[in-house]
Amino acid sequence: MANKLNSCVFKLSDIDDKYFLENLENRELLCRCGNDFNDLYEFHHVLEDVWPNYEKNKDEARRLIDIIDPSISSNILSSKESYYNYISDKHGHLVHYTQERITENSNHFRICSFTRRWNNQLMWAHYANGGRGVGLVFDSKKIWHSDGARTSQAHTEVSGTAYRLSWVRYSHNPPRLNAVSILENVRIGTEEKIEEITKRMLDAGVLTKCREYRYEQESRLIIRTEGQDVGAEPILYKYNPEALQGMIIGPKSNLDTVRKAAAHLPSEAHIYFTKPSKNRYKLEIAESMTVENFLS
């Protein structure tokens, strides 16, 4: 039975949450900006400005200055002292300007978190009301198929498209971004270069977390709302019904509430009942059936 879950990602939820049934009925997932998450270092990165070495790569330094700061005279490279004075004077403005561009870019993205480990008891304890909730089972390929999105408060339709579904990487230290390289791509301004900046920003800020979160084995669906200013408001991403493959029932879940939830699932989707393993600190599947059989 568990083999059917290998290509899936899981959304563990408190089934008693007041929005759970509504979102399930509407086939919507709440997607939030980075500031709404509980990680103190969410969207955190170290921004530095790394310039070419004067002696070893003066031509590259000249090329970058011509792109980033074309109004500056080439005489800035007439001596090592003038070059490094220029870098020192430029530091604060460059880092500040680049951070503003990164923040502006990040406002066009929202995040929905999943786990790749449906049977981790810490995840059930933290996100599914101590095993009283459920885990929604999503096909990791079909979750990309979007039927649109809307803001969570004003219910304004937005052009929310699935941009990436990627694994989170776990690290001892925050990722580092080079403001010089980022600003170079901004100044060049081609679609390819802007996309390169976007990927770097997402890899650093959205897809890197402290190693203490490793147990979550998180995958993140990144939703893009480019072209629309929705501020910091969460959005509700409407997924294709074929993406929802089933529901895993926590060992302490109330079956009456589970039946209400199952009524919103496709009839061919599967319901997986779990129990604690006797030999390990781990959940295991005790029984599986289709929604149609469960509700009959």
For residue 70, the model assigns a pLDDT of 86
Residues in contact with 23: Cβ distance below 8 Å, sequence separation at least 6, in sequence order: 29, 30, 236
| CA gap 19, 5 in Å, rounded | 25
- What's the pLDDT tens digit per position in 237-251? 999 889 999 999 999
Contacts 24+ apart (CB under 8 A), 54-61: 54/80, 54/83, 54/84, 55/80
How many CB atoms lie under 10 A from the CB of residue 43?
Answer: 20
Residue pLDDT tens, the chain, 296 long: 556 788 899 999 999 999 999 999 999 999 998 878 888 898 889 999 999 999 999 999 999 999 998 888 778 898 999 999 999 999 998 999 889 888 888 888 899 999 999 999 999 999 999 999 999 999 999 998 887 888 887 678 887 788 889 999 999 999 999 999 999 999 998 999 988 888 998 999 899 999 999 999 999 999 988 666 677 789 999 998 899 999 999 999 999 999 999 999 999 999 999 999 999 888 999 999 999 999 98
Q: What is the pLDDT of residues 181-230, one digit of tens each?
A: 999 999 998 999 988 888 998 999 899 999 999 999 999 999 988 666 67
What pLDDT sits at residue 96? 92
* Domain boundaries defined on the chain: 2-29+111-162+214-224+239-295, 34-106+169-206
